Chains A and B, each alone.
Chain A
Amino acid sequence: MLEQLLIFTRGGLILWTCKEIGNALKGSPIDTLIRSCLLEERSGEVSFNYGAYTLKWTFHNDLGLVFVAVYQKILQLLYVDDLLSMVKQSFSEIYDPKRMRYDDFDETFRQLRVEAEARAEEMKRTKQVVKPLNGVKKQGQVSKEETKKSNGEKKDDEGKVSSVSNGNHKMEDDVANGKENSADNNNSVGVDVSKLAKLRSKGVRGRGGLRKADSIGSNKGSSKVEPPKKATKKNRVWDDAAAAPKQEEKLDFTDEHGDNGHVDVVAAADQGESMMDKEEVFSSDSESEDDDEPISDEKPEAKKKGWFSSVFQSITGKANLERTDLEPALKALKERLMTKNVAEEIAEKLCESVEASLEGKKLASFTRISSTVQGAMEEALIRILTPRRSIDIMRDVHAAKEQRRPYVVVFVGVNGVGKSTNLAKVAYWLQQHKVSVMMAACDTFRSGAVEQLRTHARRLQIPIFEKGYEKDPAVVAKEAIQEATRNGSDVVLVDTAGRMQDNEPLMRALSKLINLNKPDLVLFVGEALVGNDAVDQLSKFNQKLSDLSTSGSTRLIDGILLTKFDTIDDKVGAALSMVYISGAPVMFVGCGQSYTDLKKLNVKAIVKTLLK
């Protein structure tokens, strides 16, 4: 049963609610929908889940109205989409900007609902007749797909036909129309069988790695065993398969006596102001209003007629934007975004969201469709890249100082993105603002990681807490924080080892570190060169952190540090992909390899570069 149906303006005033179903909603689903979906440019999605409810919505972009239907998640009502579109149609006829009450709509709504329910019943009946015929032909998996797809999707018929012809492996193509739930389930169903063997073998090693939690760091969980190349090199034992005592030799190569005096005590590195504090000087080149290339994909014959009518329409400005009008412009925009290194999935979702917000809107006079679309996309991009919460680290540090505890920052990321280098840059910046910093070397796996940090610490003249290699990073971090509390450091910067996002034991170790130490800021370090993998990295990191979190408080990624920004000229799309998929703001941008090369993200400049 429908729980509630609301009509409100984009400015926030509720115009009409269904009074028949007067159930009060638990929590605030509408506000959450607006904040985490519509304002996050995910309006192209099909539905939104909140607690026990599912919400579906539709826009009337011309009048600036939003129609939202709320119903119980467990019920799969088929008529909601239908009902919403009919309600939209009939309400827009009686809508008047001056009127605030629409009590006469109650009657109309009741009729519409009865109609919609009746139609849904009929459709269900006809579908049940067709079902047994198809069920014989399909394999077992596809029947699962059907039940998942019957969440009110109207493309069921299409999906059935194509899936019969394609078979298991091609299911990803069928569900490429934004049906996320079914897509994820299908993928997992499809690949389960093939990857089962691999998972089984991984599982053993993973569990084994956990049993021995202290000495052998869990970093080595599933890495490959190196065959002995020379006689002098011995096999590394990765798990407790054969943990004979003789093999527990010292693999810790840290030099006990410190460096042999080769290192000259460098004077404190003072390379001037960090770029965080410098004003951004970017040349404001003349923005060309016109598109660079006209949409040359279209056929030339249709182009002539289309051009004349579009020019006429752009002058009179009366046309209502239809999906077909928007498609070519959006397609061109998506291509342009993808050439700027935005992940394909993200570009697709963004275009859907912009389409949802423009459909049905009246074109202003003297504007072309392409410029309207560009304007809407620009607004959407600025909205996504504007941080959702304050990114004032200095303020947070001061707040933590008042509470007499150190402010803990943990740097996480995959291999080779620049965590240690950027950690040193952040330390330099903080030091310039008279904040006492301490480094914690919790990368106990990579050879030379501790020495690297030690060198940075010596150059910056800040204390470093290290325990060498082969130690449990979570314990090292805990002790580092205690040490910082003791000697009154304001900030503790924790360096961790790089790890791939689908490496289960390493991700478990990371979440153990975070759960144990409860840092103030979890900073994901990502390089700007990454392409479509950014989406995978961030979503898997967040998922693992939330799955493996204990004690109720789930810590996800709080901020992003974008590195190697100087190596990309104008292909700045990775920033957009990362921010969109995780919702975390970009707090720093690393743009070089010396201490001063750290700056803030300039939202307007990035949006301009993306849309150039």
Chain B
Amino acid sequence: MENLEDLKIMAEQWSYQGIEYLQKIPPTQLYAAVGVLLFTTILLLLSIRLVRRTKSNTVLLSGLSGSGKTVLFYQLRDGSSHQGTVTSMEPNEGTFVLHSKNAKKGKIKPVHLVDVPGHSRLRPKLEEFLPQAAAIVFVVDALEFLPNCRAASEYLYDILTNANVVKKKVPVLLCCNKTDKLTAHTKEFIRKQMEKEIEKLRASRSAVSTADIANDFTIGIEGEVFSFSHCCNKVTVAEASGLNGETVQVQDFIREYIKP
């Protein structure tokens, strides 16, 4: 008990001393000190908010194994796919300015491009990169589309219902690769097929109870057939040919969403 009282008395003494000291300082200095303090705190807060608001410039290249992501990655980086590729076992990352035939003038901001392996055993790697993604390019093999349609749509469904993608409204580009071949499907056909498959997935997965452990969110509007326009994040379709170097549409998409 005595200790508490002693402490109280000491605290009071210190506060009196502090107030006396403050009153001793001429007022201008005091105001200046307070002003500097306020200024620095405001500066700190602003910088923190700015840092948060600057979007990451990471673009993810995802898709099934064999759809041509690694070829596309090297095309965007170097303009050629060198001597060919094999199934990737690890992601390819790089921060570079997109390689384009007609050199654009002005400052082009380098883009952080990540090519995530498509093999199903390496699926957890995608979840590592999703939080930092500012845009996603989902590459689909337009040549061998129908046999892989179901697997591709399941993958796309998982991406579109991922918590990070939905909350940040990450734009997705459905890129139909290998369009240089004669028997490749058109992007309209691919878009319609994917919508149909995702509609079926929606029906089978939302038949589960409210604790949907498989997917974080559901997409689309209840009662209507699914269409990509129902997603809250923007989903567009484009064509490309990795081997021929026709990556203009992909480059436009990237440039649109990674602002300098």
Contact = CB atoms under 8 A, between A and B. Distances in A.
A390 interface: yes
Contacts of A398: 200, 203-204
Contact of A386 (B87, B92, B117, B123): B123
Contacts of B151: 389-390
B83 A38 contact: no
B115 to A, nearest CB: 7
Contacts of A100: 78, 82-83
B120 A388 contact: yes
A592 to B, nearest CB: 18
Interface in A18-38: 30-31, 34-35, 38
A451 B155 CA distance: 43
A10 B70 CA distance: 11
A273 B209 contact: yes
A40 B92 CA distance: 20
Given A383-B122, A600-B213, A64 B90 contact: yes
Nearest to A379: B124
B86 A395 contact: no
Interface string B12-48: 0000000000000000000000000000000000000
A288 to B, nearest CB: 23
Contacts of A388: 120-121
A11 B209 contact: no
Contacts of B122: 39, 383, 386
B221 interface: no
B89 A11 contact: yes
A100 B73 CA distance: 14
Contact of A277 (B84, B124, B200, B208): B208
Contacts of B82: 13-14, 100-101
A451 to B, nearest CB: 32
Nearest to B90: A10
Contacts of B84: 14
| Best-buried of B74, B120, B203 by chain A (most CB within 10 Å) | B120
Contacts of A14: 82-86
A8 interface: yes
Nearest to A6: B86
A386 B207 contact: no
Given A14-B82, A279-B213, A386-B121, A394 B89 contact: no
A11 B213 contact: no
Given A11-B115, A279-B213, A395-B201, A382 B89 contact: no
Given A39-B122, A394-B207, 10 more contacts: A6-B86, A11-B90, A14-B82, A35-B65, A39-B89, A100-B82, A383-B121, A386-B122, A387-B120, A389-B151
Interface of A: 6, 8, 10-17, 30-31, 34-35, 38-40, 64, 66, 100-101, 273, 277-280, 382-384, 386-390, 392, 394-395, 397-399, 433-434, 600
